[in-house]
Amino acid sequence: MVPIEDTRRVLENALALATAGHPILPCYTVDKDGRCTCHGKDRKTGEDCRSGKHPHGALAPNGLDDATTDPDVITGWFHARSGRLNFGWRLDGLGVPDVDTYGDKKGAETAERLQAEHGELSHTLTIRTGRGGLQYVYRLPEGVDTEQYADELGEHVDFKRGAGHYVIVPGSKTVDVYRVESGAAIAPLDSWVNDLAIKRGGRKTSDRPRVKPGAVAIPSEFKEGAPWYVNGMVKPDATNRGNNASQSVTGGLSAFLFQVYDTCGGRFTLDHLYQIGAAIAVSYERASDHPQTDELVLDQFARNWARDLAKREEPQDAPIDFSEATGWLMDRTEGFGYNTLTIDFKGRAQTTLFSDFKIQATSVHTADGKTVWTVDLTRSDGWVFKDVELPSDVLNSSAALRPCPTW
């Protein structure tokens, strides 16, 4: 391997941290114009991304899970990008008050105020960020639950901690190069920072005891009639794990997802739930020692989905209630048409013309201060819907009816 110049010593620093047991993550950097080498757009502004510090998509497709202490892997990443790389440092067992001073950020004032109230921060390894802020690296208390902490200690002072967070390795470059401000050893987290982060988190470990669920029995064979989620855990080498098992899983999964849709108050669209179900079904089958094809399993799931969707629809011979907000009248070449909202087997919304009607008024009356017409609607195929009551504002304007529900 031909050596690549490490002028900013970012590789050197990353390897030193890895040797000390800190997992390292490959990140994008910035080009000569300050644009992030991800070549993407900033999600907030829509302009060119200038981050230069998020995980490298090609080298670390699983994000923080791909962080490693293996020096050969880390060096390989650096050479794979010809040295055009930043590194992240996963914070296993560490907590970092991150003081942002860039632009009009008030991190310095907040940090000064907090220290005046609680005491100065202990001397520890301190990093000057590429945007001029400061990161103080501390060792967290042994066995601490990092979820209890708040993400911020105050205005523009973040608190990054644990294996779900990372900071950038010195030598990396964004607006400027990250540098070690103080090379002191990593000190224990100050008690006041610990307490403040817990207080701002709004919950303490003692307030929410964690009870580990009991052991789950993994069935060795598929069992006809067992709940779908039980059959979904059948061991990969089960001799009877095949079409019947996948039918059980895809059928039960489909029915369950419709229950989720009905109880979650619109948090999920049917299309989202269909995609989730398809992913689970395929993942289940791929785990088998003798998997069926993805196409076969997806077809099973689609058929079960279509079946469950059909169960929700009104019977064909049921009377049509024109008062329901399931459609709207619209002007057409002849008379009015009635549009309805339907969904295909994947749950995707599609507006379709239910029918074209000719309208024949038979009577008129007043109800609740409104003029209401009683009409006969004759469909294009000759079917007549008699004595349908429609307010005059509905007949006069398609906008008078409520809009169809959106998915």
**77 near 59, Cβ under 8 Å?**
yes
Pick 112 or 330 by higher pLDDT.
Answer: 112
Query: Which pTM was predicted?
Result: 0.53
pLDDT at residue number 2:
67
Strands 125-128 and 187-188 turn out to be: unpaired
The rounded Cα 83 to chain-centroid distance in angstroms is 32
User: What six digits make up the tokens of 309?
Assistant: 């969707």
Mean pLDDT of the chain: 81
pLDDT of 389 reads: 75
Q: What is the mean pLDDT of residues 183-189?
A: 92
Of 281 and 398, the one with more pLDDT = 281
What number of other Cβ atoms are within 10 A of residue 404's Cβ?
Answer: 16
Q: Tell me phi and psi for residue 293, to 5 degrees.
A: -70, 155
pLDDT at 241: 84
Confidence of residue 387 (pLDDT cuts 50, 70, 90): confident
Q: Which of 18-32, 107-121, 154-168, 193-207 has the lowest mean pLDDT?
A: 193-207
Indicate the helix (H) or strand (E) that contains 388. Answer: strand 384-391
Alpha carbon separation from 106 to 100, 153, 372 (Å, rounded): 7, 12, 64
pLDDT at 331: 38
Evaluate whether 171 touches 8 at the Cβ level (below 8 Å): yes
What is the average per-residue pLDDT within 356-374? Answer: 72
Which residue, 56, 31, 61, 55, is CA-closest to 173?
Answer: 31
Query: Higher-confidence residue: 377 or 48?
Result: 48
* 3-class SS shares of the chain: helix, strand, coil, % to 5: 30, 25, 45
Picking from 176-180, 263-267, 300-304, 349-353, which range would have the lowest pLDDT averaged per residue? 349-353
